[in-house]
């Protein structure tokens, strides 16, 4: 399970259009289905059903303490670096997302959800993955002029992932709950 922001379709359309000429052009990059695109705020791993009610309560409290966020996608990159990447991503500009992510992660810890990802938070949307380190500098440079339209993040989703199986070969996400961020003073 994980908590995430889900950008609006029209904003994802811009990213899809920008990367379309490059999809399938970099050997070794796997491009997940656009339906799985999201900005992870906290990854919780396997969450026992007995913990789920407390997790939902704690996440609701955490989310309601934060205002809506004005964001835009800008700048592509790779983890751990564009030269030695296993993940190709697009980053965010605008209101800082880190405080919201920290609150979500703290709420999950208090609820007893085991977190497997304790890396420093970096707000991004993952677009592709590679099994081995790949030099993505040419791809990042080709997309250097991209600047997405502004959008407002208004809700946080609790999502359960269903891993691929023989009967269903694609990754699938199920939204279990959604909480609205508080209205912003800028609204």
User: What pairs with residue 175 in β-bridges?
Assistant: 159
Q: Which position among 22, 66, 122, 124 bears the catalytic label? A: 124
122-153 pLDDT tens trace:
999 999 999 999 999 999 999 999 999 999 99
Q: Spell 61-82 as b/e; 16+ CB within 10 A means b.
A: ebbeebbbbebbbebbbbbeeb
Question: 122 an active-site residue?
Answer: no
pLDDT value, residue 173: 82
8-50 pLDDT tens trace:
999 999 999 999 999 999 999 999 989 899 999 999 988 999 9
Cα(11)–Cα(92) distance, integer angstroms: 12
In sequence order, what are the residues at sequence separation of 6 or more whose Cβ sits closer than 8 angstroms to the Cβ of residue 87? 78, 79, 126, 128, 129, 130
pTM confidence score: 0.90
Token pair listed for 167: 């009967």
Higher pLDDT, 170 or 25: 25
Question: 22 an active-site residue?
Answer: no
Domain ranges of the chain: 2-180
Q: Which position among 38, 64, 122, 157 bears the catalytic label? A: 38
Sign of CA dihedral 176, 14, 170, 116: negative
* Fold of the 2-180 domain: Cyclic Phosphodiesterase; Chain: A, (3.90.1140)
pLDDT value, residue 86: 96
The DSSP result for 31-57, as a single string, is ---GGG--EEEEE--S--TTTHHHHHH
């Amino acid at each position: 399970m994980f908590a995430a922001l889900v950008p609006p379709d029209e904003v994802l359309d811009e990213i899809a259009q920008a990367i379309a000429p490059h999809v399938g052009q970099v050997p070794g990059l796997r491009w997940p289905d656009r339906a799985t695109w999201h900005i992870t705020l906290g990854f919780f791993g396997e969450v026992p059903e007995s913990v789920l009610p407390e997790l939902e309560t704690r996440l609701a409290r955490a989310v309601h303490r934060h205002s809506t966020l004005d964001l835009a996608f800008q700048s592509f990159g790779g983890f751990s670096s564009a030269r030695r990447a296993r993940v190709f991503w697009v980053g965010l500009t605008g209101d800082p997302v880190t405080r919201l992510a920290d609150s979500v992660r703290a709420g999950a810890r208090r609820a007893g959800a085991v977190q497997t990802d304790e890396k420093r938070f970096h707000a991004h949307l993952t677009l592709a993955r590679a099994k081995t380190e790949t030099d993505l500098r040419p791809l990042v440079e080709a997309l250097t002029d991209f600047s997405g339209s502004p959008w407002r993040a208004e809700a946080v989703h609790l999502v359960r992932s269903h891993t691929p199986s023989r009967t269903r070969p694609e990754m699938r996400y199920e939204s279990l709950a959604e909480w609205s961020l508080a209205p912003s003073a800028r609204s």
